[in-house]
Every structure is written in structure tokens, then in C-alpha cells.
Amino acid sequence: MTSFREFRGTEAWGVEAWKAMCRVREKSPLIQCITNFVSMDIMANTLLAAGASPAMVHAVEEITEFTALSNALCINIGTLSPDWIFSMKVAVARANELQKPWILDPVGVGATTFRTEKCIELIHSKPTVIRGNASEIMAVVGASTGSTKGVDSTQASTDALEAAKELARIAQCIVAVSGAVDLVTDGKRVLGVSNGVALMQRITATGCAVTALIAAFVAVHPGRPLEAAAFALALFGLAGEIGNEKANGPASLRVNLLDALHSLDEISVTSRIRIAQI
């Protein structure tokens, strides 16, 4: 059993993460994103920097065709409205019909009744992975009320571990909780990822961006969503660490993180990825 304080860069995980990164670059999966207005830019740029291909497509008239073209679907409820919810449900149904993975980011769930209801309805359609911050994951399972501060978390990821396991079991999917240590679980196994820097929280939509990156990794590793989610979180966190070496604050970290993600190499990944089975 590894404690949260005992992360070591086990080279085996680094080698696997590097292979996963190479596969994303080689396959360049098309990721359909129905996401909030705030996140569109950084999400698309994150996917491009990783070698994937983003498309922000939400008009209901286009969904039947477009979801069929995509390798994975990323659904994000950050700037929700009734017509967008309708598009999301049509896209999710189409993805399920075609057995394509879809990933949910429950932004701000718990903040309002409308958001919570619509989020739960989406979860009933069986996402492949749910990635949220600790307050969001706790709110989905009713483990806390009023702990979300709009879209930001007031809890540590470790506080949400039991809620994440419960959600994974109930929804029969992978659940990832981001934070200082990212936790990824299928309800039984738990992987912890300790890459990243705290300043990433001061850039809007980094959580949304890493959810889309998870979609890209799951798209090219369809049988291994637990590991794929952990690799995406670890590599995004590592890009944050490398980017932070040259950054002076959130704005320059945003730029340097994208540059670092684009330039990740085998030596950095194999030596600096910190994933452990908890």
C-alpha cells in the first residue's frame, strides 16, 4: 500500500505513459467537445499540443453525423442551457449507439438544482470516465452540500476518495478526482497521480482541458480507461511542472504548459511521471 506521501517515479508507469503519449500523437484522435465558452480555447489548444484533433461541435442538427466521425466525445456542463443539454443528450445517445467513449466533466455540479439534475441525468447514460474536482465528485453522490464554490473546489481530492469509489461503482464507470494528488478509480482499484503544480488552479479551465485530454487518451486505449485517465492527468501535470520552470505567474504558465505538453520527450516522461497504486 502506497501512502499519499510516498510517490516515487516508478519507471514502469513512466514507460507506459510515454507509450500512451506516442499513441495519441500517432493516431491523432478526433475529439468532439460540447463544452463551456470559457474552456473552448485552452481545451482545443491542449488537445492540439498533445497531438489530438479537437472539434467544438454542439448544434443538434450536426450531431448524428459528427459524433459518428469522432473517436471520443467530451461533455462539459460549465455554461449550461436547456438547448445545449438537449445537444449533449443526443450526442451521448449517438456515442453509446456507436460504442464510442464519452467523458463527462460535471463543472459546478451541486451549485444549483438545475445543474445537479441535468448532470445526474447525463450520468444515467453511462459515461466512460467522469473527471471533476473534489467538491464536484462529492456533490454528485450527495456526500456534501454547499461545498462547491461555483466551479472551484473547497475540498482536497483525498477527501473525495470514498465518494469517487462509490460513484464509480454506482455509475459503472471510471471516476477521476483532480487536485494536488489526482485519484482515478474504477470503484476497487485506485491510482494516484502526483504530477502538477498548485498554480494550475489559478488558470481557468485547466480542469476542463485535462478532461478533454483524458478523452483523447481513452480514445486510443479503449480497453484501459483507468490507466488512460491516469496517463492523461500525469502528462498534463508534468507539462505544468516543466512549464512552471519558466513561468512568472498564471498567464505565462498557461503558455509554457502548452509548449511543454507539445514538447514532452521520452526522458522527461519516463523519469518524472509519478503514478502509484494506492
Ligand X SMILES: Nc1ncnc2c1ncn2[C@@H]1O[C@H](COP(=O)(O)OP(=O)(O)O)[C@@H](O)[C@H]1O
Ligand Y SMILES: Cc1ncsc1CCOP(=O)(O)O
Query: Which positions touch Mg ion (CB under 5 A)?
Result: 107, 207
Give, as one character, the DSSP assignment of residue 141.
T
d(CA 179, CA 162): 15
Does the protein bind ligand Y through residue 31 (CB under 6 A)? Answer: no
60-79 positions binding ligand Y, by CB under 6 A: 78-79
d(CA 197, CA 212): 19
Does the protein bind ligand X through residue 202 (CB under 6 A)? Answer: no
Q: What's the grid cell of residue 190?
A: 485506485
- What's the closest the beta carbon of residue 246 comes to ligand X, in angstroms? 17
Does the protein bind ligand X through residue 200 (CB under 6 A)? Answer: yes
User: Residue from 51, 54, 106, 179 that binds ligand X (CB under 6 A)?
Assistant: 179
Task: Give the distance from CA 184 to its chain's centroid.
Answer: 10
User: What mask of x and - would describe binding to ligand Y in positions 151 to 180, judged by CB under 6 A?
Assistant: x-----------------------------
Q: What's the grid cell of residue 117?
A: 439534475
- What's the closest the beta carbon of residue 79 comes to ligand Y, in angstroms? 5
d(CA 125, CA 98): 13
User: Residue from 28, 39, 45, 185 that binds ligand Y (CB under 6 A)?
Assistant: 39
**Cβ closest to ligand Y, residue 81 vs residue 263:** 81
By the criterion CB under 6 A, which residues form the site for ligand Y? 36, 38-39, 78-79, 107, 151, 204-208
By the criterion CB under 6 A, which residues form the site for ligand X? 133, 152-153, 178-180, 182, 196-198, 200-201, 206-207, 210, 233, 236-237
